[in-house]
């Protein structure tokens, strides 16, 4: 198995040469192409790439790229527990959280898959005990609210997934507890959340793998202060999700501690206790296990070598084609589902923290572009916000739409001859066509150039299994792109410098005139 910089591959110049030509998908996009360019995904999803500037020759070249960069072989190596996080010399095992796809992963005589399964069983059992009233607050009240305290991957993914399943759970009678989240060290965040809770019936989850995350520990103390002032015992209202070596582990300050290890990166931790505890408490362990099954199905499909049968791989390759050969630096994620309102924010972290790298796995400065800027909002709100620029701006931004034929609650009303869900889907279909086809008009203010590429991920309804499949699709897409660009997608050194300087400011040891001057402007020093 070889790790090569992208521009050192044989296929790089072939793709570059092909990009000098043009494929006018604005003219080629017809019913036949739409029906042809569809790839099955897990949990009933399908991936459509019909409105992409990708012709048959390009598909063949992208298959060559996948084969030359040994993408499936590297994925299998990751699954088998090879050291893939070169920066921190660690395995990368978030796939193992939802099912063993490769060989058993053993470290120092310990079967890591067994460890993950044990922790899954433990926090699922804990959630069941909470629901049964076996764990109660310090005044004897049953818990009806869970509050997760964490930041970054300990907040974005779990929060997005909770919001995504909330309506579904209410409709299906699966809602067990209300969930809230505290992430920002801004005290207004913690103040607003704790004020919205009945503290005597609230259970807090402190999430910090190291047990030393500054913002999280500050918010923990904020919550504990509120509990104490309310006459409550914080140790009866808190659990921890952490590593076995952190100061939070086996600590009497918590009802219990549930464990992850260094092989689970924060932005990939939603399948672990980081997401599992809050989702199991909110919706029940069975719902979380269904979510894991959808992710596992997508992981299995990602092992397919044929890119026209592997949606995550094809999506990754098309993204590289657009980033490196069409020169597009951005990608917009546009879910036509209010339930996915926070999903783009999670994908923003996952993608930009993973592949926002300028050096190779071996530390060489790269001579080509890597990860794009990710942003997005739900449709149809986005249509009344930034779609103007997407349609008629001077630059082209590739789009990724997500849509469902049915709403989660089937609670709808007919207006002007159609229900709202039909209007939502009509808007989605119209936008794909409008971006691709455009509109010619002698009035240039009303002229739409078209040729704006988009893909579509679509399914019947957003269920736990569908959500798991969707999450795994994007995780695997990011992984494949990292392999192509030969970057380490699993560390995040880019967040460390700011943390170091923050400690300097708080200690008063500035060491830099500009840092002290900015600190003075913000009232941090005389």
Query: Phi, psi (5° rounding) for residue 251?
Result: -110, 130
Q: How far apart are the first and last CA of the chain?
A: 58
Query: Phi, psi (5° rounding) for residue 450?
Result: 70, -160
Residue 215 among the catalytic residues: no
Burial (Cβ within 10 Å: 0-12, 13-18, ≥19) of residue 103: exposed
Residue 220 among the catalytic residues: no
- Reduced DSSP (H G I as helix, E B as strand, rest coil) percent helix, strand, coil of the chain, to 5: 50, 15, 35
Six-digit token string for 94: 């978030």
Q: Give 25's contacts (C-beta < 8 A, 6+ positions apart).
A: 33, 50, 51, 52, 53, 54, 436, 451, 453
- Per the CB < 8 A criterion, the answer to whether 45 and 468 are in contact is no
d(Cα 466, Cα 522) in Å, to the nearest integer?
46
How many other CB atoms are there within 10 angstroms of residue 521's CB atom? 9
CA angle 325, 485, 479 (to 5 degrees): 115
**Which conformational region is residue 446 in: left (phi greater than 0), alpha (psi within -120 to 50 degrees), or beta?**
alpha
Residue 18 among the catalytic residues: no
Q: Which of 220, 297, 353, 475 is catalytic?
A: 353
| Residue 304 CA: distances (Å) to CA of 46, 63, 111, 298 | 15, 12, 26, 11
Query: 85: part of which helix (H) or strand (E)?
Result: strand 83-85
User: Which residue matches tokens 């959630």?
Assistant: 127
DSSP 104: P
Q: Burial code of 54-86, b = ≥16 C-beta within 10 A, e = fewer? A: bbeebbebbbbbbeebbbbebbbbbbebeebbb
User: Which residue matches tokens 């591959």?
Assistant: 9
Q: Which of 16, 107, 499, 503 is catalytic?
A: 499
3-state secondary structure 285-343: HHHHHHHHHHHHHHHHHCCCCCHHHCHHHHHHHHHHHHHHHCCCCEEEEEECCHHHCCH
Six-digit token string for 109: 């005589």
Q: Give 314's contacts (C-beta < 8 A, 6+ positions apart).
A: 39, 47, 49, 62, 307, 308
Q: Which of 229, 384, 444, 500 is catalytic?
A: 384
- Residues with catalytic roles: 353, 384, 499
């Amino acid at each position: 198995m070889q790790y090569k910089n992208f521009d050192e591959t044989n296929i790089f110049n072939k793709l570059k040469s092909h990009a000098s030509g043009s494929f006018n998908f604005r003219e080629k996009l017809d019913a036949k192409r739409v029906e042809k360019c569809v790839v099955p995904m897990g949990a009933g999803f399908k991936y459509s790439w019909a409105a992409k500037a990708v012709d048959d020759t390009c598909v063949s070249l992208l298959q060559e790229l996948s084969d030359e960069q040994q993408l499936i072989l590297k994925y299998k190596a990751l699954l088998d527990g090879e050291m893939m996080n070169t920066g921190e010399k660690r395995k990368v095992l978030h796939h193992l959280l939802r099912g063993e796809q490769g060989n058993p992963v053993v470290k120092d005589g310990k079967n890591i898959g067994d460890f993950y399964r044990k922790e899954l069983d433990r926090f699922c059992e804990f959630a069941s005990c909470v629901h049964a009233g076996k764990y109660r607050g310090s005044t004897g009240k049953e818990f009806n609210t869970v509050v997760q305290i964490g930041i970054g991957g300990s907040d974005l993914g779990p929060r997005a997934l909770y919001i995504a399943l909330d309506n579904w759970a209410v409709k299906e009678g699966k809602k067990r507890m209300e969930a809230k989240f505290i992430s920002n060290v801004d005290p207004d965040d913690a103040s607003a959340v704790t004020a919205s809770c009945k503290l005597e019936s609230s259970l807090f989850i402190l999430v910090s793998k190291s047990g030393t995350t500054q913002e999280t520990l500050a918010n923990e103390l904020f919550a504990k202060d509120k509990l104490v002032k309310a006459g409550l015992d914080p140790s009866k209202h808190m659990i921890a999700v952490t590593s076995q070596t952190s100061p939070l582990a086996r600590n009497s300050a918590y009802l219990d501690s549930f464990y992850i290890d260094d092989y689970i990166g924060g932005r990939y931790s939603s399948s672990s206790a980081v997401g599992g505890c809050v989702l199991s408490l909110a919706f029940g362990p069975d719902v979380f296990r269904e979510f894991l099954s959808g992710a596992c199905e997508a992981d299995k499909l990602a092992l397919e070598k044929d890119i026209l049968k592997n949606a995550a791989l094809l999506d990754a390759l098309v993204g590289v084609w657009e980033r490196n050969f069409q020169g597009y630096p951005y990608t917009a994620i546009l879910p036509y589902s209010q339930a996915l309102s926070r999903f783009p924010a999670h994908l923003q972290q996952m993608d930009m923290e993973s592949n926002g790298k300028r050096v190779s796995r071996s530390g060489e400065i790269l001579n080509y572009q890597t990860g794009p800027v990710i942003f997005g909002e739900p449709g149809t709100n986005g249509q009344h916000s930034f779609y103007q620029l997407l349609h008629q701006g001077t630059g082209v931004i590739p789009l990724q739409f997500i849509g469902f034929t049915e709403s989660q609650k089937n609670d709808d009303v007919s207006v002007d001859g159609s229900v709202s869900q039909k209007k939502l889907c009509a808007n989605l279909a119209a936008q794909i066509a409008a971006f691709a086809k455009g509109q010619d008009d002698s009035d240039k203010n009303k002229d739409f150039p078209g040729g704006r590429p988009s893909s579509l991920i679509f399914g019947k309804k957003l269920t736990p299994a569908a959500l798991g499949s969707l999450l795994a699709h994007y995780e695997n897409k990011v992984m494949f792109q990292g392999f192509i660009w030969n970057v380490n997608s699993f560390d995040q050194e880019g967040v460390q410098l700011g943390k170091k300087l923050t400690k300097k400011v708080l200690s008063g040891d500035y060491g830099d005139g500009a840092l002290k001057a900015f600190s003075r402007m913000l009232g941090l020093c005389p």
